[in-house]
Structure 1
Amino acid sequence: MRTNPKPSLDHGLPSTLRALADLGAADLDGLNDDYSFRGDLAARCRTLTERAYGRGERAALEEVHTALALVHDAEFSAATLDEVDHERQPILRDVAALLERAVLGHELTRISEDDVTGHPTTGPEYVRWLKALVSEHPAGWHPLYHSHLAQAGTREDLRLLLAQETSLDPRFDDILAFLQIGRSGGEKLEIAANYWDEMGNGDPTLVHSALFARVLDSIGADPAYIRDSFLLEAGICGNISAALALSRRHYYKAVGYFGVTEYLAPRRFRCVVDAWRRHDLDEDGIVYHDLHIGVDAQHAAGWFKNVVHPLLHADQRAGREIALGALIRLNTSADYLDALLERMPALPAVPATAAV
């Protein structure tokens, strides 16, 4: 029997979404059929995104990304036998579609059309152009990694950084699984090879998500610490990563976005490894980053050659979409690292005599 209880819309969008977890299968079916409720929920989403992006209200922005994170957590979670009849997708996808459109729409307004057009139309030249785009961007060589961590990063700085990295690293294997859907040939094989590396090449002890969990454990970044120290800007990066992977229509942007992620990882992870060892921390905890210095360099090269090249060869319009994804990654990465660096102690001033 359907009682069709309606979660309250008066306590914020995240509260409404959390209330869905307490509804039984029949109640959820009734709610899915209640288009009055779904219309009110959609209106609430539009009002919230207008406050966040139209008026620049940070509290509204935080609510948008808390709600979107709840939807994405559900997408990346395993089903339980107790809930095989619990259909939440219609409502969750209503919310995700509206919030993701606002989030990505905002990011696109930050990109100049001049930066994504006029690019080369053949694979090798396009990749060189794309790499130059990365190198010229502030995120390409960010001071958080290459000045702060490299020179004076503390153990606490490492812990704070790694807590933020939970927005992507623990689910990167699943993101690669999503990206393979519908692809074929060498393009799919390249993503699959990357995925197999994430799976430790069949060795359960070397699965990358498990290695990352060891990093967090070694540095003392437990769930409570992550929750209390997590930055909005890190959450935005995580939500955009998930949105691009989950929606087939965003595939070309995802290729640029995650290509930049792979390309920047080795130089960034080298700074993490050096800081880790400078503090003589547990070697078992740095296997993840140490491994990725070499692996991600190979992944980036393969990604450019076997994914980017064929897409551009098949349709030159892909170049613009890939560049948009790359710049979304660079812009949001710079936002996140800027915000994180503000939370870390300033570098000590160099005495004048030391410069002689």
Structure 2
Amino acid sequence: MTAQHAAAPRQAPTQALRRAAARAPVRGARGEPAAVPSLPAPRGPLSRAVADVLSAGPPPDPRHGPAPDPAVADVLPGRDAWAAVRAADPYGDDLQLALHTCFELHYRGFAGVDPDWEWDPDLLRLRRAMEEAFLAALRRDVPGGSDVDAALAGLLTEPVDASGVTHHLRGAGEWWQLLEHAALRSVYHLKEADPHAWVIPRLRGRAKTALVAVEHDEFGGGRPEMIHQGLYAGLLDDLGLDPSYGAYVDAAPAVMLATVNMMSLFGLRRSLRAALVGHFAAAEITTAPSARRMARALERLGAGPRAVLFYTEHIEADAVHEQVLRHDVIGGLLEQEPELAGDVVLGVQATCLLEDRLAAHLLDHWRSRPPRSALRHPPPGLPAGPVRGPANGPVSGSVSGE
């Protein structure tokens, strides 16, 4: 623990973080974070079906004929699968976790899961049905339109009386809330910029060149030690949390998973390339001011330098990135394909919608009386409010104390 860590009073992280860390992938022999996560625990029939299929062994060999995949058919027959998707809340835990699990096959996969499941046709059909349900909900719940400038204008100027998650953490947030925020955001930040790389081969000319320049910065600008994913792992480690990839997926509610699933959905569909660009621009526009507030929150609560570095690195970089994305990526794309303006707007508006839902979830829990954990598994048998730790550090047995 650094002197800076010991300088400020803390509160213990919730038992939910401890439980999630206990379920996280085991570290390697040298203590480094595990590179491949374990399958998350199911939350309903869809996520259970996906988990059962992936843990049943390798997919059928396609050379043996086009018969339906027996593993998928056994756990969720075709007709039942579509019925389950139609019955599921498109923003709910079950569908969002099932989607996240399917999408993760395109990233790092899971320990003990055959990588060939990534392209199993029956699993892809189920995933597409879930994608369509999620996409239909997003289209239904955003204003729509094709005026890109108007969609971005509201993000360029922040209201004086704005009050969001980072405002709360900067001014009144407590240590346990900071840890919950860090754990939940790890679901994305440990794969930061990976979903956006899917769009590179789908762009041309100025738009492609500009987006690659932004991604180059996200991936460290040629310096492996500065890759943003690695900086976030350093933040987690500095806060005493598990920096392993996927460590806190089980703790993450659907509102967090949905923000990452949206990126994967837009990135993996060529038809939604403009939506991914719109999302990326919206995210970069809002990052610099929120990163400044997070850096102040971390400093106020006594976090170490590696935790602060992640956000200070984003303050200047993302202020530049949003200019590049607005003028060169979006501008270049719409010069070539002006008919995609509506999809750019979809990406901007869907990002705002899902981030607002996540913020409401966090603040509703943290500001309740007594305060409650925003994670999926509040500690059973303990007071509804967080337990205070001693002024000189975390309580014994907490994640920060391990």
Aligned partner of 1:240 in structure 2 is 262
In terms of mean alpha carbon deviation, does 80-89 or 265-274 score higher? 80-89
Aligned partner of 1:50 in structure 2 is 86
Aligned partner of 1:122 in structure 2 is none
**Partners in 1 of 2:267 and 2:100 — Cα distance?**
14
Question: What SS is found at the alignment partner of 2:338?
Answer: coil
Aligned partner of 2:346 in structure 1 is 324
Question: What SS is found at the alignment partner of 1:340?
Answer: helix
Give 1:96's match in structure 2, choosing from 127, 132, 137: 127
**Partners in 2 of 1:81 and 1:111 — Cα distance?**
39
Q: Does the 8 A contact of 1:159 with 1:219 survive in 2? A: yes
Question: What SS is found at the alignment partner of 1:171?
Answer: coil
More helix by share: 1
Output the TM-score relative to the length of structure 1.
0.80
Root-mean-square deviation (Å): 3.2
Q: Does the 8 A contact of 1:259 with 1:326 survive in 2? A: yes
* Gapped regions of structure 2 (runs ≥ 5): 1-43, 371-402
**Partners in 1 of 2:365 and 2:326 — Cα distance?**
35
The alpha-carbon deviation at position 37 of structure 1 amounts to: 7.3
**Cα distance change on mapping 1:79 and 1:344 into 2, 3 Å:** closer
Aligned partner of 2:284 in structure 1 is 262
**Cα distance change on mapping 1:78 and 1:192 into 2, 3 Å:** farther
Q: Which amino acid is 2:187 matched to?
A: S
Q: Deviations over 1:241-273 (max 9, x none)?
A: 111111111111111111101111111111110
The alpha-carbon deviation at position 310 of structure 1 amounts to: 1.8
Output the TM-score relative to the length of structure 2.
0.71
Q: Which amino acid is 2:68 matched to?
A: D
* RCO higher in structure (CA 8 A, sep ≥6): 2
Aligned partner of 2:95 in structure 1 is 64
Q: Which amino acid is 1:232 matched to?
A: A
**Partners in 1 of 2:177 and 2:319 — Cα distance?**
25
Q: Which amino acid is 2:359 matched to?
A: L
**Partners in 2 of 1:145 and 1:314 — Cα distance?**
37
Q: Deviations over 1:281-340 (max 9, x none)?
A: 101222111101111111110001111112222233222211111101101110011101
**Cα distance change on mapping 1:339 and 1:24 into 2, 3 Å:** closer
* Gapped regions of structure 1 (runs ≥ 5): 1-10, 120-125, 349-356
**Partners in 1 of 2:125 and 2:311 — Cα distance?**
37
**Cα distance change on mapping 1:88 and 1:131 into 2, 3 Å:** closer
**Partners in 2 of 1:242 and 1:78 — Cα distance?**
14
Aligned-residue sequence identity (percent) comes to 19
Matched, 1:12 2:51: no
**Partners in 2 of 1:51 and 1:171 — Cα distance?**
31
Q: Does the 8 A contact of 2:143 with 2:349 survive in 1? A: no
Q: Does the 8 A contact of 1:176 with 1:192 survive in 2? A: no
The alpha-carbon deviation at position 137 of structure 1 amounts to: 9.7
Q: Does the 8 A contact of 2:59 with 2:69 survive in 1? A: no
Q: Deviations over 1:47-88 (max 9, x none)?
A: 2232234xx8x8xx2111111111011111169999576675
**Partners in 2 of 1:23 and 1:228 — Cα distance?**
21
**Partners in 1 of 2:195 and 2:269 — Cα distance?**
11
**Partners in 1 of 2:365 and 2:113 — Cα distance?**
42
Write the mapping of 1:202-351 to structure 2, written as runs, cut at 5 A: 202-222=222-242, 226-227=248-249, 229-345=251-367
**Partners in 2 of 1:275 and 1:89 — Cα distance?**
45
Q: Which amino acid is 1:260 matched to?
A: A
Aligned partner of 2:385 in structure 1 is none
Q: Deviations over 1:115-158 (max 9, x none)?
A: x24x3xxxxxx54x2332336899x9552222x12211112111
**Partners in 2 of 1:81 and 1:202 — Cα distance?**
32
Q: Does the 8 A contact of 1:200 with 1:206 survive in 2? A: yes
Q: Does the 8 A contact of 1:164 with 1:226 survive in 2? A: yes
The alpha-carbon deviation at position 234 of structure 1 amounts to: 0.4
Matched, 1:75 2:106: yes
Aligned partner of 1:123 in structure 2 is none
Number of equivalences: 321
